[in-house]
């Protein structure tokens, strides 16, 4: 059963794919977008993996990997926006929202860890 975190991370990944493809075609930028597409799409993959973790510690570890990828994506987005390659900050807000959900999920899982 999908969770808000899974739904939002998948929606974010789809938006990342769209933005990166658009930038590759229109701006001819590929170095930053290649990095962004890797980190941006792996967030949801790690969250999905966490759903089938081998226990609470593995679950938390997978979510922490997703959080690292989310932070990396945030960095690439900041670079693209601040360098003028991309001018819509909506995707950065979407990234921040996923990051907040991940932090809350990790903190909840740690509190419930036995």
User: Domain of 34: which CATH number?
Assistant: 1.20.1440.60
DSSP letters for 25-44: HHT---HHHHHHHHHHHHHH
- Is the full-model pTM beyond 0.85? yes
The four Cα atoms 68, 73, 76, 81 give a dihedral, to 10 degrees, of -140
Q: What is the mean pLDDT of the chain?
A: 94
Residue 105 structural domain: 4-111
d(CA 99, CA 93): 10
Give burial (CB, 10 Å; 0-12/13-18/19+) of 55.
Answer: exposed
Q: pLDDT category, 113, cuts 50, 70, 90?
A: confident
pLDDT digits (tens, 9 = 90+) for 51-78: 999 999 999 999 999 999 999 999 999 9
Q: pLDDT category, 28, cuts 50, 70, 90?
A: confident
Query: Is the separation of the CB atoms in 60 and 108 below 8 Å?
Result: no
pLDDT digits (tens, 9 = 90+) for 89-109: 999 999 999 999 999 999 999
């Amino acid at each position: 059963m999908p969770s808000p975190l899974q739904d939002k991370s998948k929606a974010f990944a789809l938006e990342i794919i769209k933005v990166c493809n658009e930038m590759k075609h229109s701006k001819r930028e590929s170095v930053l977008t290649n990095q962004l597409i890797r980190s941006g799409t792996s967030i949801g993959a790690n969250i999905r993996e966490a759903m089938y973790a081998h226990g609470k510690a593995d679950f938390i570890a997978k979510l922490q990997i997703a959080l690292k990828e989310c932070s990396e994506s945030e960095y690439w987005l900041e670079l693209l926006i601040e360098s003028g390659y991309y001018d819509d900050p909506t995707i950065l807000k979407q990234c921040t929202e996923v990051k907040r959900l991940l932090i809350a999920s990790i903190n909840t899982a740690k509190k419930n860890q036995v």
